[in-house]
Every structure is written in structure tokens, then in C-alpha cells.
């Protein structure tokens, strides 16, 4: 894996640019997918021109465009950035794209022989996947808290409302409508009635407020191991194992964290591995032989194309705005 100067035309079109060579086949779409909060995420856009992200770095806001990827050892990804945070953003591109995500132990023949065929076949077809690491705790934590105990549809609707109200236009050459998520200070300034209008109940909004009271300390968790960061997150009232796992999967590229408490995951894993529904305890038991790589295994299950039977009770969408 190497970083090289971007070609002159690529570099000239941005405030900062870099070309990253992963040293092997690389799928940009599969790698970036977990970071996107639905197809209408205001801070993330997938275009034919590449993937566009807007966020805040220590130096300020930035728009980051990523393009490229492909098969073979000579593949590359071009990164272009605009705004005060441009240099910070391109410096973080390798980590963002999974440069530190090492699948060698997972792919070791001895370990591979223990995996279910559904997983090994999926891995054979998806060798170009990496687990991304954003290192941005606040940007990952807030939308994850909004997803606690509600449907994905409801959570993303609320997130979009708050983004449109309090996000800021992405700098530089950004697609129309791309927004930089609020900073911790901006999230803390949102009045209670706006959370209400967004359909975010008082329990979730209070959890956001508690978590962001120490935003500087929160961002420092990115420098810890994923297990340490997850444990520290769970010391904040209102943040449990599900929220912590969902966060470190994105901020640290954690290969093992499992979203215990997820409404669908345990049943999905149970059906995929045994043909039968299971609960969280059953899922943990099923995945125990592959501890250290459980998130990798789950990603392979999702990419296998397996779908669990479509029956069972549906979660009711809760509307807090009328209360």
C-alpha cells in the first residue's frame, strides 16, 4: 500500500489531492457503503463521478471526493479535497479506506477451513472489500444514537431534518445539496423543540447532549483500540453495547464488534448459519468460534446475497412529534 502524488490534472482541480495504491483489488463502493446513512444522506453522495463526503476536520470543514478502485495490484483511488480541512482529509484517506484492515488471519487456510461455505464463497467473490475507519467519533455517534430503538426509516428522516436545519454547505466543488454535519457545539445548540420536530424523543436527544458535553474527550477515543473505545462509550448513560458496536465499526474499522440488540441481525445470522431463527444469545454462541473476526463474517454473510424468510412481526414506527 502506497501513497503517491496525484496526477497534475487531478491535483490542479482541488485544494489538496493524493493517489492511494492499496496494493490489491479494491472495491470503493463496498468499502464506503457502511458510512452512508441511506441513499438520501445529506453528507454523503454517490455519483458517477465518485463518492463525495462532507465533514469537519481539526482544520475546518472539507469536501472529499473519492474515485477509482478496481481489480489487480495496480489499482488506485484518487482523492480530491476542498476547503480548510483539505490537507487533513487527504492525509486520512488511507485509514478511511481501510489501509489498516488486515484480512490475512481471516484468509489463512486453517481459519478459512472452519468457516461456513456460505461465508467462504462470499469471501471468494469479495476479496476487494476493506473495513473503513473514519476516526470521527461525533459524526458516527450522533446518527447512531438517533437509530436507537426506532426504525431505520424514522431515524434517517429525523437525521435529515436536523442536517437540513443545522448542517452547513460543503465547501468547494461539491454536489448541490451536500452538507457538512453539525459540529459538537452546533449539535448542543439545537433547542428541544427542534428535536421534537425531527421526531427524536427526549431520551435519544438527552443521550446526544450527554455524550457531546465532553466532545474533545470523545474524539480522543479514536486514538484508542476499538475495544477500549467501545468500553469508554458505554460509560455514557444511554449508550449500550449496540450503539458502541455500531460506532466502532465505522470509526475504527473494528473486525469483531457485533451489534447485539439489533432488531434484525440475530435472526438473520441464525437463519444464514443454521436455517433457524435465533436471539442475541444464540447469535453470540454461533459466532464464538470466529471471535476476532465476527464483523468480517457478518459482512460476508450480507454480501453473500442470503435473505432470511420474510415473515414475523414488524416494528412499529413511533412518532414522537404529536406527544
Look at the chain and count its residues: 323
Q: Once rounded to an integer, what is the mean pLDDT over residues 242-251? A: 98
CA 241 to chain centre: 16
Q: Which helix (H) or strand (E) holds 197?
A: helix 192-197
**Amino acid 9: pLDDT:** 62
SS3 of the chain: helix, strand, coil, percent, to 5: 45, 15, 40
pLDDT in tens, 53-87: 999 999 999 999 999 999 888 999 999 999 999 99
- Separation CA 220–CA 234 (nearest Å): 15
Banded model confidence at residue 308, pLDDT cuts 50, 70, 90: confident
Nearest to 53 by CA among 38, 68, 65, 70: 65
**Amino acid 159: pLDDT:** 97
- Separation CA 298–CA 31 (nearest Å): 14
Q: Answer yes or no: is pLDDT of 305 > 50.
A: yes
Domain-located, residue 123:
no
Map residue 168 onto helix, strand or coil.
Answer: strand
Could you give the C-alpha distances from 27 to 21, 38, 99, 108, 276, in angstroms and in order? Answer: 12, 19, 13, 21, 32
Residues 6+ positions from 323 with CB-CB distance below 8 Å: none
285: left (phi over 0), alpha (psi -120 to 50) or beta: alpha
**Amino acid 13: pLDDT:** 86
Banded model confidence at residue 199, pLDDT cuts 50, 70, 90: very high
**Amino acid 310: pLDDT:** 74
Domain-located, residue 17:
yes
Q: Answer yes or no: is pLDDT of 182 > 70.
A: yes
- Domain span holding position 89: 2-101
pLDDT in tens, 89-109: 999 999 999 999 999 999 999
Domain count, the chain: 1
Domain-located, residue 314:
no
Domain-located, residue 62:
yes
- Separation CA 205–CA 201 (nearest Å): 6
- Cβ proximity of 199 and 323 under 8 Å: no
- Cβ proximity of 101 and 250 under 8 Å: no
pLDDT in tens, 140-175: 999 999 999 899 999 999 999 999 999 999 999 899
**Amino acid 321: pLDDT:** 37
- Separation CA 323–CA 82 (nearest Å): 43
Banded model confidence at residue 49, pLDDT cuts 50, 70, 90: confident
Strand partners, 17: 80
Name the pairing type of β-strands 2-4 and 77-82: unpaired
Map residue 124 onto helix, strand or coil.
Answer: helix
Q: Give the whole-number percent of the chain exceeding pLDDT 90.
A: 87
**Amino acid 319: pLDDT:** 41
Domain-located, residue 58:
yes
- Cβ proximity of 200 and 320 under 8 Å: yes
pLDDT in tens, 208-218: 999 999 899 99
- Separation CA 301–CA 13 (nearest Å): 39
- Separation CA 147–CA 41 (nearest Å): 14
C-alpha cell read off for 290: 470466529
Domain-located, residue 29:
yes
Domain-located, residue 16:
yes
Residues 6+ positions from 95 with CB-CB distance below 8 Å: 133, 135
Domain-located, residue 203:
no
C-alpha cell read off for 271: 437463519
Cα radius of gyration rounded to whole Å, the chain: 20
Banded model confidence at residue 134, pLDDT cuts 50, 70, 90: very high
Q: Answer yes or no: is pLDDT of 320 > 90.
A: no
C-alpha cell read off for 137: 467519533
Amino acid at each position: 500500500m502506497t501513497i503517491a502524488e496525484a496526477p497534475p490534472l487531478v491535483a490542479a482541480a482541488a485544494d489538496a489531492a493524493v493517489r492511494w495504491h492499496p496494493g490489491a483489488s479494491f472495491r470503493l463502493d463496498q468499502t464506503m457503503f457502511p458510512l452512508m446513512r441511506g441513499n438520501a444522506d445529506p453528507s454523503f453522495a454517490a455519483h458517477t463521478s465518485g463518492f463525495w463526503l462532507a465533514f469537519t476536520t481539526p482544520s475546518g470543514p472539507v469536501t472529499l471526493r473519492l474515485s477509482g478502485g478496481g481489480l489487480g495490484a495496480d489499482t488506485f483511488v484518487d482523492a480530491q479535497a476542498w476547503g480548510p480541512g483539505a490537507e487533513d482529509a487527504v492525509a486520512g484517506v488511507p485509514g478511511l479506506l481501510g489501509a489498516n484492515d488486515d484480512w490475512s488471519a481471516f484468509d489463512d487456510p486453517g481459519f478459512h477451513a472452519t468457516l461456513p461455505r456460505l461465508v467462504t464463497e462470499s469471501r471468494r467473490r469479495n476479496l476487494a472489500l476493506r473495513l473503513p475507519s473514519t476516526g470521527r467519533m461525533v459524526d458516527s455517534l450522533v446518527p447512531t444514537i438517533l437509530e436507537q430503538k426506532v426504525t431505520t426509516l424514522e431515524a434517517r428522516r429525523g437525521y435529515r431534518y436536523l442536517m437540513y436545519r443545522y448542517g452547513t454547505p460543503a465547501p468547494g466543488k461539491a454536489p448541490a445539496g451536500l452538507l457538512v454535519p453539525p459540529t459538537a457545539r452546533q449539535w448542543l445548540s439545537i433547542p428541544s423543540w427542534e428535536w421534537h420536530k425531527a421526531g427524536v424523543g427526549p431520551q435519544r436527544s438527552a443521550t446526544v447532549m450527554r455524550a457531546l458535553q465532553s466532545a474533545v474527550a470523545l474524539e480522543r477515543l479514536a486514538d484508542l483500540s476499538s475495544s477500549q473505545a467501545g468500553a469508554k462509550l458505554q460509560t455514557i448513560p444511554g449508550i449500550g453495547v449496540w450503539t458502541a458496536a455500531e460506532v466502532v465499526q465505522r470509526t475504527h474499522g473494528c473486525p469483531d464488534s457485533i451489534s447485539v440488540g439489533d432488531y434484525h441481525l440475530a435472526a438473520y445470522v441464525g437463519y444464514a448459519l443454521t436455517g433457524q431463527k435465533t436471539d442475541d444469545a444464540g447469535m453470540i454462541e454461533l459466532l464464538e468460534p470466529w471471535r476476532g473476526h465476527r464483523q468480517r463474517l457478518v459482512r460476508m454473510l450480507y454480501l453473500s446475497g442470503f435473505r432470511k424468510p420474510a415473515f414475523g412481526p414488524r416494528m412499529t414506527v413511533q412518532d414522537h412529534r404529536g406527544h
